[in-house]
Chains A and B, each alone.
Chain A
Amino acid sequence: EAGVAQSPRYKIIEKRQSVAFWCNPISGHATLYWYQQILGQGPKLLIQFQNNGVVDDSQLPKDRFSAERLKGVDSTLKIQPAKLEDSAVYLCASRIGQGAFDTIYFGEGSWLTVV
């Protein structure tokens, strides 16, 4: 079974530029998450989708971050304009349903450096 796919793996941009990350969840997984992991910290949820609807985006900085999940499969996360403090690993994860007992599977992450 293929895992959660993310791209690009690494990106270096200057502040005020824009960047987009792509995620393809495990086939059949209805729930998709984007997490931000700053170096030395635990991952923090940015947004949760159930199919193509947003369930939780309370911690997404909406003035610069946006995310979409068209057709309930792939998802993109965009940052525009980027700030230095956005340097982090952006993790995509998926889950077959919404049940608390279901395992959440993570991709390898997209490592962003803003200079």
Chain B
Amino acid sequence: GNSVTQMEGPVTLSEEAFLTINCTYTATGYPSLFWYVQYPGEGLQLLLKATKADDKGSNKGFEATYRKETTSFHLEKGSVQVSDSAVYFCALSGDFGNEKLTFGTGTRLTIIP
């Protein structure tokens, strides 16, 4: 079945540091890939998505590129801010007939001033 493996946390960085959170997946066919973010006490929010190989999703300074050859969708940001502190989830949605979201375990990110 489909699965997502995420970089173990927690991750602590200083403000303005470069961020990478690794995500790899296992799926048949052509899944869509997502990053969701969960701020303290809030629900999941879609951060960005990519629906086919080599697509780059981007939002709020975050980027991730759908790499089919390495089955990866790593999240990056060039300069993090304190307000980026949250839990980040990588997820995939399978092909037609299997569109439910399968999540990774989440990575807690803390940015210190």
Chain A residues packing against B (C-beta within 8 Å): 4, 33, 40-45, 48, 56, 91, 93, 95, 98-101, 103-109
Contact = CB atoms under 8 A, between A and B. Distances in A.
Contacts of A103: 46, 49
A4 B101 CA distance: 17
A48 B100 contact: yes
Q: Is the interface of A mostly helix, strand, loop or mixed?
A: loop
Interface residues of B, number: 26
Interface of B: 4, 6, 31-32, 36, 42-46, 49, 51, 89, 91, 93-96, 99-106
Contacts of B6: 42
Given A41-B105, A100-B93, A100-B94, A33 B100 contact: yes
Given A45-B102, A98-B96, 16 more contacts: A4-B43, A33-B100, A42-B103, A42-B106, A43-B101, A44-B103, A45-B100, A98-B99, A100-B31, A100-B32, A100-B95, A101-B32, A104-B101, A105-B46, A106-B45, A107-B43
Nearest to B44: A106
Nearest to B90: A42
A42 B8 CA distance: 12
A35 B41 CA distance: 17
B109 to A, nearest CB: 15
Contacts of B95: 100
Contacts of B105: 40-42
Contact of A56 (B4, B42, B100, B103): B100
A112 to B, nearest CB: 15
A103 B33 CA distance: 11
Contacts of B103: 42-44
Contacts of A93: 44, 101
